[in-house]
Amino acid sequence: MSATMDNNRAAAAGGKRYLWLWGAVVALLPVIGGTLAWLTGWDAMWFFAPVFLYVIVPAADYIVGEDSSNPDESAVQALEQDRFYRWCTYAFIPVQYAVVVWGAWLVGGGTLSWVALIGLTWSMGILSGVAINTAHELGHKKPTIEKWLARIALAPVAYGHFYVEHNKGHHRRVATPEDPASARMGETLYQFMPRTVLGSLASAWEIEKTRLARQGKSVWHPENENLQSWSMTVLLFGALTAAFGWAVLPFLLIQAAIGASLLETVNYIEHYGLLRHKTAEGRYERCQPRHSWNNNHIVTNVLLYHLQRHSDHHAHPTRRYQALRHFEEAPQLPTGYAGMIVLAAIPPLWFRVMDPKVVAHHEGDLRQAHLHPAKADSLLDRYTASAAAT
């Protein structure tokens, strides 16, 4: 029986089993940058993490390529039960906290140049953004320990309400006008960002208010999961500020804002222009693979625990990352999330690349797409005219 189980696990892993350890290695990017700066004497090395994310990873995605293979159905159960994969995500969190404390200690010491301080803050923000992804993977799971680990990972990012809004809000309303985390075609990243940040915050608060009201409790009750998560951030930031000085607090707040913006940029990418329609009964159709953008580039998928197999995640939120599947019918991004983040930051290039893909996905009928209200008429006119011309 043991030999059979081991064979099933090996087959299901598809040669990527030990690559998942890179997820925890990403948490060390600020330390790698600092080490390179110390070895070379070049303060510019503190920017290693941004270069890694925005240059090295997209290039590696292009060079290494894609993997669209799926685990064999007979091996999925063994793959899900293999505790090695969950320990890969668990390992991220102690490394994350060690690096956060190290960064606060450096900032509090007051010895960093302005170049080094900016590089460290940006690098720590990237770590925090990736930490939200780790929290995302853990927060969907059933064991209580994993739910708490998710909230612990969110504390340094001051984004604890994501645990509530994503699981109970976004997954219910994804690809609908009611979802603040689903981007509309024609909407720039910079228009989307305030809408999703404020909308997600309001949604998380309302979700907990409604849940507690059913129990006859105030929204300010200690069982409010938003308040619990934010309290963890206050305690963490307070302890680090007390230990290393007031200079640490702006550093912590700025890196948290960078991490949150990285998350929301990924949200912008994942459902851009995709729309679920209402049935004759007035309810939204079930979320299908066609309602999420997917990608199979290996490098980014390994670093983000298969987040880019997003359709299967929405179909089976509790399914562990190693077992997520590729769907042929799901719309595909031209490259991994790392490259798409860079593209999203430049709206003219984003629209040039992605808008035709939205049109093609809907077979030229933009009435089926999720359109930015301010751009709806111009987009319909433009692509209707283009279709007529061809």
**Partners of residue 332 on adjacent β-strands:** 294
What is the structure's pLDDT at 10? 43
What is the structure's pLDDT at 80? 87
Q: Is the four-CA dihedral 59, 61, 62, 64 of positive or negative sign?
A: positive
**Partners of residue 371 on adjacent β-strands:** 185
Rounded distance between C-alpha atoms, residue 353 and residue 383, angstroms: 14
Rounded distance between C-alpha atoms, residue 298 and residue 282, angstroms: 40
Other C-beta atoms lying within 10 Å of the C-beta of residue 198: 11
SS3 content of the chain, % helix, strand, coil (to 5): 70, 0, 30
What is the structure's pLDDT at 23? 85
What is the structure's pLDDT at 258? 98
What is the structure's pLDDT at 83? 92
Output the six-digit token pair for 97. 């906290």
DSSP string, 60-90: HHHHH-B------HHHHHHHHH-HHHHHHHH
DSSP string, 275-342: -PPB-TTSSBPPP-GGGS-B--BHHHHHHTTTTT-HHHHHH-TTS-GGG----TTS-B-SS-HHHHHH
CB 314 within 8 A of CB 291: yes
- Please choose, from the candidates 335, 389, 339, 332, the residue with its C-alpha nearest in 3D space to the C-alpha of residue 364: 389
CB 153 within 8 A of CB 289: no
| Burial of residue 3, with CB atoms counted within 10 A of its CB: 0-12 exposed, 13-18 middle, 19 or more buried | exposed
Rounded distance between C-alpha atoms, residue 8 and residue 83, angstroms: 14
Rounded distance between C-alpha atoms, residue 30 and residue 46, angstroms: 7
Q: Can you give the length of the chain in residues? A: 390
**Partners of residue 278 on adjacent β-strands:** 284
What is the structure's pLDDT at 228? 97
Rounded distance between C-alpha atoms, residue 254 and residue 310, angstroms: 29
CB 128 within 8 A of CB 97: no
Rounded distance between C-alpha atoms, residue 217 and residue 368, angstroms: 42
**Partners of residue 185 on adjacent β-strands:** 371
Rounded distance between C-alpha atoms, residue 7 and residue 366, angstroms: 47
Per-residue pLDDT of the chain (390 residues; tens, 9 = 90+): 343 444 444 444 456 888 999 888 889 999 999 999 999 999 999 999 999 999 999 999 999 999 999 988 778 888 889 999 999 999 999 999 999 999 999 999 999 999 999 999 999 999 999 999 999 999 999 999 999 999 999 999 999 999 999 999 999 999 999 999 999 999 999 999 999 999 999 999 999 999 999 999 999 999 999 999 999 999 999 999 999 999 999 999 999 999 999 999 999 999 999 999 999 898 999 999 999 999 999 999 999 999 999 999 998 899 999 999 999 999 999 999 999 999 999 999 999 999 999 999 999 999 999 999 999 999 999 998 665 555
For helices 337-344 and 57-64, give the axis angle rounded to 10 degrees.
130
What is the structure's pLDDT at 12? 44
Rounded distance between C-alpha atoms, residue 3 and residue 259, angstroms: 43
Other C-beta atoms lying within 10 Å of the C-beta of residue 42: 13
Other C-beta atoms lying within 10 Å of the C-beta of residue 25: 13
